């Protein structure tokens, strides 16, 4: 078997400079918590080229030393600079304006060429400062759109990956000997523009997500440490491998040992380079992420109870969120719950307004709340990119055991009232736990179950 590191790839990001004569049109400024990219009315952009304007970015080749993150320095020259100029990063570069979806209602026919989608990030230029913008590009794609993300989930032991090679380290285990290696094939999923319920997720917010590969490791020995790497079988018969990662298998149900659990929600994502700076959207999310990474040795499992990236219709933001939490989700189980900002018929919710990031809600989509909060995502990105051990993916409630813990995870975007299917699930989950073996019974849901008002 031939081996190599992941292949290096050229930077496929287009850097465009928006000068004032390009007439960036900002959207409505109402709505706290609105996605910064929505401030750019990309469908109103007018193309204006200037022979004396130029833009360069370096380095041109990303990942030359197998880096997961790369800083790119952008230099812009303009004969008529202003303090309102911005630089945008677009991907992919090979879009065809003739394939753009219909313009939103009320917008007239635009002259070709025009830009189909919003940038993945945009940064304000300051021409009168010495330093040019420095942008952080978090994730890379190959020409075949293979996305490299690592996500552990307790249920067998699930990994989202390409194909996977896994090695057990330590004492001999049931069915596995020390240093034994196995390979586990991965199933592949994706979604397309028509998977979205509506605009702007289906229009200016759309970006091809690539492919999401899911691999299961079964019959793992409790508490054993395993190392793994992700790989792809090439057409020439060789394999391309990632670097090695490791995780510790879950304790058996009822095991009396130290078990440390992190539970939080409503985190969001942020840009380390300060781009997408409108309203300084969710800068605190980096503090949360960095602290969890710093403390990785001090906890065993994470529950992110809803409102993940606050992508709010812009699919590229999911890629940046998975990159932001990847060091955590590749090391410990990263369990998620239904939220208010991203769902469809299959139990998710992510909103874009003051109430939170409800990724599931959309009219006539099966959501309990018949609102457009998901911006057309309808939960599709969340339920495709992250695995959760529900019996039916269309119903985002599930039970899972972890040592002395029983977790009953509810889905507040589907009916939970007495007599409903979910109500019966909650009753069963709470009633069937053996409190002598699992004294910690945790019920978690995204939306508050009680309010001090009717708002």
The CATH number of whichever domain residue 184 belongs to comes to 2.60.40
Tens of pLDDT, residue by residue over 56-103, are: 888 887 777 777 677 888 888 888 877 777 888 887 777 666 667 665
Does 164 reside within a domain?
A: yes
Burial class (CB within 10 angstroms; exposed 0-12, middle 13-18, buried 19+) of 155 = middle
Q: What is residue 6's predicted lDDT score, i.e. its pLDDT?
A: 37
Range of the structural domain that residue 175 is part of:
151-248
- Which of 213, 248, 283 represents a domain boundary (last residue)? 248
Q: Are residues 85 and 178 in the same domain?
A: no
Q: Are residues 34 and 124 in the same domain?
A: yes
Does 333 reside within a domain?
A: no
Tens of pLDDT, residue by residue over 334-360, are: 999 875 443 332 222 222 222 233 455
Which value, to the nearest 10 degrees, does the dihedral of the CA atoms of residues 375, 378, 382, 385 take? Answer: -110
Does 437 reside within a domain?
A: no
Sheet arrangement for strand 212-216 = 151-153, 158-160, 212-216, 187-189
In this predicted structure, the answer to whether residue 295 has a pLDDT above a threshold of 50 is yes
Q: What is residue 106's predicted lDDT score, i.e. its pLDDT?
A: 46
In this predicted structure, the answer to whether residue 195 has a pLDDT above a threshold of 80 is yes
Q: Are residues 93 and 32 in the same domain?
A: yes
Say which residue the tokens 């992510």 belong to. Answer: 350
Strands (E) located in 179-267: 181-184, 187-189, 212-216, 225-233, 239-241, 245-248, 261-264
Q: Are residues 102 and 219 in the same domain?
A: no
Q: Are residues 165 and 110 in the same domain?
A: no
Tens of pLDDT, residue by residue over 211-264, are: 888 888 888 899 999 999 888 888 899 888 888 899 999 999 999 999 999 999
What distance in Å separates the CA atoms of residue 19 and residue 34, rounded to the nearest whole number? 24
Q: What is residue 103's predicted lDDT score, i.e. its pLDDT?
A: 58
- Which of 210, 227, 248 represents a domain boundary (last residue)? 248
Q: What is residue 46's predicted lDDT score, i.e. its pLDDT?
A: 72
Does 24 reside within a domain?
A: yes
Which DSSP state fits 100? P
Taking alpha carbons only, the member of 319, 270, 242, 311 closest to residue 5 is: 242
Does 165 reside within a domain?
A: yes
More confident residue, 113 or 67: 67
- The token pair at 340 is 């208010």
Counting every residue written for the chain, the total comes to 455
Does 92 reside within a domain?
A: yes
What distance in Å separates the CA atoms of residue 172 and residue 179, rounded to the nearest whole number? 9
Q: Are residues 166 and 121 in the same domain?
A: no
Q: Are residues 92 and 170 in the same domain?
A: no
Packing angle, helices 284-294 and 316-329, rounded to 10: 30
Q: What is residue 17's predicted lDDT score, i.e. its pLDDT?
A: 37
Which DSSP state fits 173? B
In this predicted structure, the answer to whether residue 41 has a pLDDT above a threshold of 90 is no
What distance in Å separates the CA atoms of residue 447 and residue 258, rounded to the nearest whole number? 30
Which value, to the nearest 10 degrees, does the dihedral of the CA atoms of residues 22, 24, 25, 28 take? Answer: 180
> Residue 323 belongs to what H/E stretch?
helix 316-329
Tens of pLDDT, residue by residue over 388-438, are: 888 887 788 999 999 999 999 998 888 888 999 999 999 999 999 999 999
pLDDT confidence band for 147 (50 / 70 / 90): very low
| Pair type for strands 86-90 and 121-124 | antiparallel
Q: Are residues 27 and 64 in the same domain?
A: yes
Q: Are residues 190 and 223 in the same domain?
A: yes
Looking at the structure of the chain, the number of domains it has is 2
pLDDT confidence band for 382 (50 / 70 / 90): confident
Q: Are residues 84 and 13 in the same domain?
A: yes
- The token pair at 230 is 């992700």
Burial class (CB within 10 angstroms; exposed 0-12, middle 13-18, buried 19+) of 137 = buried
The mean of the pLDDT values for the chain is: 73
- The token pair at 32 is 């706290």
Neighbours of 163 (CB within 10 A): 18
Q: What is residue 363's predicted lDDT score, i.e. its pLDDT?
A: 57
Q: Are residues 216 and 123 in the same domain?
A: no
Average pLDDT over residues 103-109: 50
Does 293 reside within a domain?
A: no
CA angle 13, 330, 381 (to 5 degrees): 55
Taking alpha carbons only, the member of 200, 205, 213, 13 closest to residue 104 is: 200
- Which of 137, 161, 186 represents a domain boundary (last residue)? 137
Does 397 reside within a domain?
A: no
Q: Are residues 34 and 117 in the same domain?
A: yes
11 with 74: CB under 8 angstroms? no
């Amino acid at each position: 078997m031939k081996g190599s590191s992941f292949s290096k790839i050229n930077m496929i990001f287009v850097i465009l400079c928006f000068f004032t004569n390009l007439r960036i049109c900002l959207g409505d400024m109402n709505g706290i918590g609105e996605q910064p990219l929505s401030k750019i009315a990309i469908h109103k952009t007018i193309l204006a080229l200037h022979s004396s304007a130029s833009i360069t970015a370096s380095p041109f080749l990303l990942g030359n030393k197998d880096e997961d993150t790369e800083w790119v320095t952008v230099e812009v020259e303009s004969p008529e600079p202003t303090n309102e100029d911005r630089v945008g990063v677009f991907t992919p570069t090979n879009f065809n304006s003739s394939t753009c979806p219909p313009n939103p209602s009320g917008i007239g026919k635009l002259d070709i060429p025009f830009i189909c989608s919003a940038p993945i990030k945009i940064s304000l230029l300051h021409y009168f400062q010495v330093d040019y913008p420095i942008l952080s590009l978090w994730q890379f794609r190959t020409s075949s759109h293979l996305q490299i993300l690592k996500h552990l989930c307790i249920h067998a032991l699930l990994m989202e990956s390409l194909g996977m090679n896994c090695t057990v380290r330590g004492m001999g285990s049931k069915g596995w000997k020390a240093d034994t290696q196995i390979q586990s094939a991965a199933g592949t999923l994706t979604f397309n523009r028509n998977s979205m319920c509506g605009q702007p997720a289906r229009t200016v917010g759309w970006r091809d997500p690539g492919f999401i590969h899911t691999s299961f490791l079964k019959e793992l020995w409790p508490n054993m440490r395993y190392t793994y790497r992700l790989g792809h079988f090439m057409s020439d018969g060789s394999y391309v491998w990632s670097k090695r990662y490791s995780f510790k298998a879950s304790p058996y149900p009822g095991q009396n040992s130290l078990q440390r659990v992190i539970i939080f929600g409503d985190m969001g994502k942020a840009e380390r380079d300060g781009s997408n700076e409108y309203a300084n959207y969710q800068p605190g999310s980096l503090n949360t992420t960095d602290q969890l990474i710093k403390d990785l040795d001090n906890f065993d499992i994470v529950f992110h109870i809803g409102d993940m990236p606050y992508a709010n219709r812009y699919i590229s933001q999911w890629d940046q969120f998975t990159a932001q939490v990847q060091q955590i989700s590749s090391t410990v189980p990263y369990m998620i719950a239904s939220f208010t900002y991203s769902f469809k018929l299959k139990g998710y919710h992510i909103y874009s307004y003051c109430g939170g990031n409800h990724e599931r809600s959309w009219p006539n989509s099966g959501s309990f709340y018949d609102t457009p909060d998901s911006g057309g995502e309808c939960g599709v990105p969340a339920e495709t990119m992250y695995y959760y051990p529900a019996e039916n993916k269309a119903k985002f409630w599930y039970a899972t055991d972890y040592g002395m813990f029983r977790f009953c995870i509810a889905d507040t975007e589907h009916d939970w009232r007495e007599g409903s299917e979910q109500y019966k699930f909650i009753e069963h989950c709470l009633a069937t736990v053996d409190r002598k073996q699992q004294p910690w019974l945790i019920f978690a849901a995204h939306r508050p179950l009680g309010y001090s008002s009717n708002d």
